[in-house]
A and B are shown apart, each in its own frame.
Chain A
Amino acid sequence: MNVDLIRLTNVKKTYNTGVTAIRDLNLRITKGDFVFIIGATGCGKSTLIKMLYREEKPTAGQILVGGIDVGKLRNGKVYKIRRKIGVVFQDFKLLEKSTVFENVAFALEIFGIPKDEIHAKVVKALDLVGLKDKITSYPDQLSGGQQQRVAIARAIVNGPKLLICDEPTGNLDKETSKEIMAVLNEINKLGTTIIMVTHDIDIVKEMDKRVIELDSGRVLNDFERGTYR
């Protein structure tokens, strides 16, 4: 049975500056999907995913993520949705002064999880992204691809149902991008829904997944698995 993890109904977003980024957007994403969001700069891709993890609020319409009405969450309650979602960015957003282990463990420590359990989970996550041997390194001792893998490990260590990736390969070369995509594919196979914003058409073609193309804040095309060429 296909269950919707994300459902957007008549969503509209206008910024305080008067710019409308999303217009009347309707979208459903099923649990376990791997979805690419593509489109020209300014088409509303970033706004869309920012609304999913409640960095931005919709001006109108409803956004349900895992049953939570994200648009109605108050600032003080945002953490509730964030704990269910992992987010990966183009610029990694790692704590420079913390080791790889600390960066990944950070998300678990907040919740008061026992030390040995944290250790086991962190090692497992780092193993999944292939960085088990870099546990004591600092971010600046790693390559861009490795840093992104740390960020992915941090995003999935808590076992989120949804992983949002905002151009995770934007700063990486072709080879490294491929490695990252392999890691993401692996995570998706384990059952995590992945939404990835990208400009890299080669990756999209190669991965052969569902592709949503936005234009001026609306869905221009929604290609089912394997139909985007």
Chain B
Amino acid sequence: MKTFRIIGRNIRDAFKGVFRNFSLSFASISCITITLIVVAVSMVLSENVNNFTLLVEKDVTIVAFIDNDLEEKKIDEIKKEISKMSNVEKYEYKSKQKITKEMMESSEVFDSIMKNWDSSENPIQNTFQVKVKDINKINDTADKIKKLDGITLVKYGEGMIEGLISTFSFIHKICIGAVVALILVTAFLISNTIKITISSRQREIGIMRLIGASNLNIRIPFIIEGLILGILGSIIPIVLTIYGYQKLYDHFGGHLFSDFIKLIKPVPFVYATSVVLLSIGILVGMFGSWRAVKKHLKI
């Protein structure tokens, strides 16, 4: 019971502290809000870039063209060789008939041209379509496939893919760096803002000590106050993330520039981001208070 009463008192005092020193609390809250908005933007950007990279990686296929005169037995041998390669995730044999059919279905122009062609005139080759596990080793895998007997040509969008992926990974890294830097800067800023708040309440802390409050008695309400500031400061960023991202997603119809670059679906992404924002707000608020009040306890 006693513990509950003490906890209850601490929470009540913390709320009182927030509202009785509202101008300074407001400064801390604004500081948390602004940084968390920037953190939210960086997170959304970073996660989407990460998502694009995964999608691109999933989409990349090595197409190995097979000599059309090759016998079934030889094709089976190539199949075996490819299945043995460690970086191959899955592979599929596509006959030229199948490819032709697919292409005719997807394009009217192609359809009309091919209709006039005899099957012996079909210039399309039989292929193996190979997906790799590690996109960074795609070059090696493609080379190995190329060396197999009966393979005439290997294509996987070389150059372009590597460029795209390295660009994405660069952007992703920058975003993570920005998020980490922002969190540190916020913790420092909030610590300083709360320090000003607490300095102005040094008298109060002195009186508390005089009356016989232990360091913990004094520190806990301030730390809870930091927690409250963190929660209040993360409200606007969370609302912006949830509604803003949904709006953005709807505005672009779920993908950016082309169907190729898909945006992350808002649910549950925005909620996960909100939880992260709230946690950052709370931790940073509490840490800031703890650091600031520590200074005033050395009498």
Interface residues of A (CB under 8 A from B): 53, 55, 75-76, 78-80, 82-84, 87, 93-95, 97, 106-107, 109-110, 112-115, 154, 158
CB-defined A-B contacts under 8 Å, sample of 11? A75-B299, A76-B214, A82-B211, A84-B212, A95-B207, A97-B20, A106-B208, A106-B211, A109-B9, A110-B9, A112-B3
Interface residues of B in 244-299 (CB under 8 A from A): 297-299
Q: Is the CB of A78 within 8 A of B299?
A: yes
Q: Specify the main secondary structure of chain B where it touches its partner.
A: helix
Bound state CA distance, A80 and B6, in angstroms? Answer: 18
Chain A residues near B204: list those with CB within 8 A: 95
CB of B215 within 8 A of CB of A76, answer yes
* A178 CB → nearest B CB, Å: 26
Interface contact A114-B208, CB-CB below 8 Å: no
Inter-chain contact B6/A112, CB cutoff 8 Å = yes
* Inter-subunit contact A110/B213 (CB<8 Å): yes
Q: Give the docked Cα–Cα distance between A84 and B210 (Å).
A: 11
Closest to A87 in B: B210
Report whether B213 and A79 are in contact in the complex, using a CB–CB cutoff of 8 Å: yes
Partner of A79, one of B1, B5, B217: B217
In the complex, the number of residue pairs spanning A and B with C-beta atoms less than 8 Å apart equals 55
Bound Cα distance A109, B7 (Å) = 11
* Contact assessment for B9 and A78 in the assembled complex, using a CB-CB cutoff below 8 Å: no
A110–B212 CB distance below 8 A: yes
Contact in complex: A83, B212 (CB < 8 Å): yes
Query: Would A82 and B203 count as touching, CB distance under 8 A?
Result: no
7 tightest Cβ-Cβ pairs between the two chains A and B: A83-B212, A82-B212, A112-B6, A112-B2, A79-B214, A107-B211, A112-B5
A110 / chain B contacts, CB cutoff of 8 Å: 9, 208, 211-213, 217
Chain B 1-30 interface 0/1 with A at a Cβ cutoff of 8 Å (1 = within):
111011001000000000010000000000
Q: Which B residues touch A158, using CB under 8 A?
A: 212
Asked if A112 contacts B209 (CB within 8 A), the reply is no
